[in-house]
Structure 1
Amino acid sequence: MTLDVAKPKSSRRRSREFAVQGIYQWLLAGDNVGNIEAFLRESNTSFARADEKLFRAILFGAIKDMKSLQDAIAPHVDRPMDEVSMVEAAVLCVGAYEIISMPETPYPVIINEAIELAKTFGGLDGHKFVNGVLDKLAALVRSEEVSAGRGKRHA
């Protein structure tokens, strides 16, 4: 008999989860990013186990670059962006920000993490949508990496 023990979340996965929550809150309420960060820190006991540097880079960077991220994502979406669920939009923004602004992280890692985030927070098939959009974005933004197949799988 084997026990089904869930693999502990990495600090980087936690950072991405908190970034998705923060971006979702920003998209929903338009609150100040500093207030959002403070709320996430104070309301989650697991925040201390997140990679703070990564969390802040994604949260602040994605919100600062929201317009350009949405412009980069939109051509790969089969409907107007305002019809995309806010959860999927938040996951897409996290993934797009990392693909565009964090070339040190291999694109397959970013896409795999985004798929897991969509499975955690999104609807039934949202992860398929996120995968398709980010695959297309990566092919455009990281064409050399994609064509060379250099992406290594590690978070």
Structure 2
Amino acid sequence: MKRHEAREKALQTLFQIDGTELTISEASEHVMGEAVEKDNFYELLVEGTHANMAAIDEKLKGHLENWSLERLPKVERTILRMAVFELAFMEDAPASVVMNEAIELSKTFGDDKSSRFVNGVLSKFTDELAN
């Protein structure tokens, strides 16, 4: 599985978990089906984002102007959480690639304004990381 597809599947899995009683394995089974081969990058994204949710949310809160995390649409919140996980917790994740992937996911799964919003929040976040 290519990384873009792994990100799409991870987004779908994390989206299902957000605000439900589903476990990672239940949501993963819904998204991946009976996939014979596990994908390490997919599993790292899902498990890492889920395990570090509190820290990720704290990092995000400082970059949301006039928004609370709870008010964000679920798609954008999930995309931002995954991107912040990659940027803050994965050492081999180039910021430009992570941002481009997050923007593409928001174009595919969000509405017309999603990509601009995700770009704005992640730009602030990456600027802070660079300083």
The TM-score, its normalising length taken from structure 1, stands at: 0.78
Task: Work out which of the residue numbers 63, 80, 85 in structure 2 matches 1:92.
Answer: 80
Deviation beyond 2 Å, 4+ runs, structure 1? none
- % of aligned pairs identical? 25
Higher alpha-carbon deviation: 124-133 or 31-40:
31-40
The residue that corresponds to 2:61 in the other structure is 74
* Number of equivalences: 130
Comparing 30-39 and 92-101, the one that deviates more = 30-39
Contact 2:9 2:32 survives alignment (8 Å):
no
Pick aligned residue for 1:124 from 112, 117, 125:
112
For the Cα contact (< 8 Å) 1:28–1:86, is it kept in 2? Answer: no
Q: Tell me which amino acid in the other structure corresponds to 2:111.
A: G
CA RMSD of aligned residues (A): 1.9
Equivalent position to 1:65, from 17, 35, 52:
52
Deviations, residues 96-151 of structure 1 (Å, cap 9, x unaligned): 1100112212100000000000001011111111111111111222x16xxxxxxx
Larger Rg: 1
| TM-score computed with the length of structure 2 as normaliser | 0.91
Q: Which residue of 8, 20, 25 maps to 1:34?
A: 25
Contact 1:66 1:93 in 2 (8 A): yes
Q: 1:110 aligns with which of 98, 101, 106?
A: 98
Provide structure 2 residue ranges, at least 5 long, that are not aligned to the other structure: none
1:48: Cα distance to partner?
Answer: 7.3
Query: CA 1:122–1:48 in structure 2 vs 1: closer, same or farther (change >3 Å)?
Result: farther
